[in-house]
Structure 1
Amino acid sequence: MTIDDIQGRLESRGWQAVSGEGWRWIDHTYQNDAATLRIRCLPDVNVIRFDFASEERLAGLSISFDDHLDQILDLIIRAQSSLSEETWRPFIASLIELSPQVLSLADEDGEDGVITGPDEGVASLREIDWE
């Protein structure tokens, strides 16, 4: 899948280019009723960054996608219009099933914690307080 394919796929689903349009990276946002979502991706590096921002919450996740980019994009596109604070945790759990290699995690303070292994990534996700 080329960068042009990914950009076209996102834009056909209502995502807006923030930067990277016509360049060699992906940087797109989508706004639903509850949150603003953002995808940043350097396909040659095999890492995708997914951010969630609502009035109450800010969270982000960087994962390695290896050969699963198409499935990850499918999951994001299916969830984009209904993703909210209530659906964020189950969504992330589904995302991790596709790519268990969590590279970094950002919570409400916006600071990324670097993850050194898959178990640490899953444990860090469980520690984030969404109550």
Structure 2
Amino acid sequence: MASVNKVILIGHLGKDPEVRHLEGGNSVANFTMATNEYYKDKQGTRVERTEWHTIAAWRNLAELAEKYLRKGQQVYVEGRIRTRQYQDKDNQTRYVTEIVAEEISLLSSRPAAEAGQLAPAAEAPTTFRQEPELDQLPF
């Protein structure tokens, strides 16, 4: 039987995307996204729990994220979980778990605090998808 690695998130961007342009013409945008859950504790007090997610968008999604996404916007992100490892400057092995975006949809056209910085919603596409033929990561 095949396996499934699928993540669906709806939340708010914690920061503007940071885009890097790599050798070979590839781009990657990294940003954080917060999702909230609410529940009542034993005393009946409403409690909010925020979970932070690291999102990586590649190639055309990176360029679209750089152009349209801003801190505070509500977005829908669909993708897959990836854990990678690297060696830090002290030669310690570190692990990073992130969501590799395959689709991003704008749910709010503008961040609440910075409404004047984005193009009008009519000019911005609302859903971005990874180009199917470029779905393989460079490493």
TM-score by length of 2: 0.30
Whichever structure has more helix as a proportion of its residues is 1
Which has the larger strand fraction?
Answer: 2
Look at both structures and tell me which one has the larger radius of gyration over its CA atoms.
Answer: 2
Tell me the TM-score normalised to structure 1 length.
0.32
